[in-house]
């Protein structure tokens, strides 16, 4: 699994806000109000120890969910809106011996799309136990265009295994996407990703911003890009990759003061489920016991005050409240004390086709 990921599935209801190129369609992806997206961490165990891993077993649990629990928790979200999409995550979800059954269960229950986010090790022979029709996207995480950079972040040998896993999946007819979590450590190689993605047969490319959470928070050096660095590099690379016929998605991150701000926690139906039963509506809240829902057995119940929903309603000039609370270093202020820009909801994406 990646370090700072969880991308919304492809959704036909996304709204095109602008087009900047006659053959390249760029849009800000509005929050989908008619679909439910569940980001289902079925375990937190992983074979890798990536530098930027956000998994926090103290807050998320150390257990592996039994298949029967996965099935009943999947059932709890079906029918909440017109469509439901599930992304299976971990830890490394392919370490779960029943992942293939969980995928089939999601399809049987009527989930419109099923995605598996994987670090590429593809345990338990998952490619043989599922069919390309069962899985809309197998989403691989790679954090460098070269073996050296990726393995520095994700661990020795992970580049070779991940790229071999992608080739194997593509050769068997699976649709694949790739997540690249950008930081100061690997930004210089982002531009080299286009040819590699093309060579691997990747259909969608997700550029992700590194979150100062989990292990990243304990690394002394500053990993996040500044606004200038982000805007200088990301849209340009995204455009070039899109010209290769690969759909590119990246977080909006920065909003000018006149651009509208929306908190997905208030307007969208996203649920981040952990094996200890906590269910969050905001990924930035996941390191704190402020989840708005929890499973009691098979029953989904609301938690009492104070929880993340109490934060969603606060309106501040800096945009996202949770960003200001947990990573205020990415904010800037003018001489008169006014916010220089707003931080968008971390779930707001730009997409170039």
Chain residues in the site for ligand SF4 (CB under 6 A)? 1-3, 46, 48-50, 53, 55, 90-92, 119, 263-265, 282, 284, 311-312, 320-323, 345-347
CB-nearer residue toward ligand SF4: 194 or 224: 224
Write down the least CB distance from residue 44 to ligand SF4, Å. 8
Residue 117 burial (CB count, 10 A): 26
| CB of residue 133 to ligand SF4, shortest distance in Å | 26
Spatial distance between the Cα atoms of 95 and 209, rounded to a whole number of angstroms: 26
Q: Which of 220, 221, 224, 200 is nearest to 212 (CA)?
A: 224
Indicate the Cα dihedral angle 144, 147, 153, 159, nearest 10°: 90
Phi, psi of 298 (to 5 degrees): -100, 0
Contacts 24+ apart (CB under 8 A), 128-134: 129/100, 130/100, 130/103, 130/104, 132/172, 132/173, 132/174, 132/175, 134/100, 134/103, 134/104, 134/107
Nearest residue (CB) to ligand SF4, 85 versus 323: 323
Cβ 249 to ligand SF4, closest distance in Å? 16
With contact defined as beta carbons under 8 Å apart, do 263 and 320 qualify? Answer: yes
Select 130 or 323, whichever has its Cβ closest to ligand SF4. 323
Least Cβ distance, residue 54 to ligand SF4 (angstroms): 7
CB of 58 to ligand SF4, least distance (A): 15
CB of 271 to ligand SF4, least distance (A): 12
Tell me how long the chain is: 353
State the pairing for strand pair 204-209/247-251: parallel
- 3-class DSSP state for residue 271? strand
Minimum Å gap between C-beta 10 and ligand SF4 is 20
Shortest CB 45 distance to ligand SF4, Å: 9
Of the pair 133, 258, the CB lying nearest ligand SF4 is at 258
Structure tokens at 144: 């460098």
Residues 6+ apart with CB under 8 A from 114: 85, 86, 88, 103, 106, 107, 134, 135, 136
In the complex with ligand SF4, the residue whose CB is nearer, 2 or 9, is 2
Which tokens belong to 260?
Answer: 């509208």
Question: 135 or 268: whose CB is closer to ligand SF4?
Answer: 268
The gap from C-alpha 48 to its chain's centroid, in whole angstroms, comes to 18
Comparison of 15 and 266: residue with beta carbon closer to ligand SF4:
266
Residue 11 beta carbon to ligand SF4: minimum distance, rounded to whole angstroms:
17
Distances (CA, A) of 211 to 100, 103, 329: 30, 28, 12
Give the residue with the Cβ less far from ligand SF4, 237 or 264.
Answer: 264
List the structure tokens of 9: 């599935």
DSSP 246: -
| CB of 170 or CB of 288, closer to ligand SF4 | 288
For residues 102 and 88, the answer to whether their CB atoms sit within 8 Å is yes
């Amino acid at each position: 699994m990646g370090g700072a990921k969880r991308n919304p599935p492809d959704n036909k209801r996304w709204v095109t806000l602008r087009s900047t190129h006659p053959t390249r369609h760029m849009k800000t992806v509005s929050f989908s109000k008619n679909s439910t997206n569940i980001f289902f961490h079925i375990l937190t165990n992983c074979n890798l120890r990536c530098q930027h891993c956000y998994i926090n077993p103290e807050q998320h649990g150390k257990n592996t969910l039994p298949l029967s629990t996965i099935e009943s928790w999947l059932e709890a979200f079906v029918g909440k809106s017109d469509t439901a999409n599930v992304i299976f995550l971990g830890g490394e979800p392919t370490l779960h011996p029943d992942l293939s059954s969980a995928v089939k269960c999601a399809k049987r229950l009527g989930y419109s799309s099923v995605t598996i986010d994987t670090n590429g090790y593809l345990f338990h022979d998952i490619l043989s136990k599922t069919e390309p029709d069962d899985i809309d996207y197998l989403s691989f995480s790679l954090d460098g265009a070269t073996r050296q950079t990726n393995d520095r972040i994700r661990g020795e040998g992970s580049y070779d295994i991940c790229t071999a896993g992608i080739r194997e999946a593509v050769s068997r007819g699976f649709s694949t996407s790739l997540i690249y979590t950008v930081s100061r450590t690997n930004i210089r190689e982002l531009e080299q990703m286009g040819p590699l993605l093309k060579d691997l047969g990747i259909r969608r490319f997700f550029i992700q911003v590194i979150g100062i959470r989990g292990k990243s928070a304990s690394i002394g050096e500053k990993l996040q890009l500044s606004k200038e660095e982000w805007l200088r590099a990301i849209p340009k690379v995204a455009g070039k990759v899109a010209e290769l016929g690969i759909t590119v998605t990246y977080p909006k991150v920065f909003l000018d003061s006149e651009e509208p701000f929306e908190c997905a926690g208030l307007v969208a139906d996203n649920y981040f489920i952990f094996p200890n039963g906590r269910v969050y509506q905001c990924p930035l809240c996941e390191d704190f016991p402020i989840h708005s829902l929890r499973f009691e057995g098979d029953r989904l119940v609301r938690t009492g005050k104070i929880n993340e929903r109490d934060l969603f309603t606060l309106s501040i000039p800096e945009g996202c409240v949770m960003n200001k609370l947990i990573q205020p270093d990415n904010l800037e202020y003018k001489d008169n004390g006014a916010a220089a820009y707003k931080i968008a909801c971390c779930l707001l994406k730009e997409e170039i086709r």
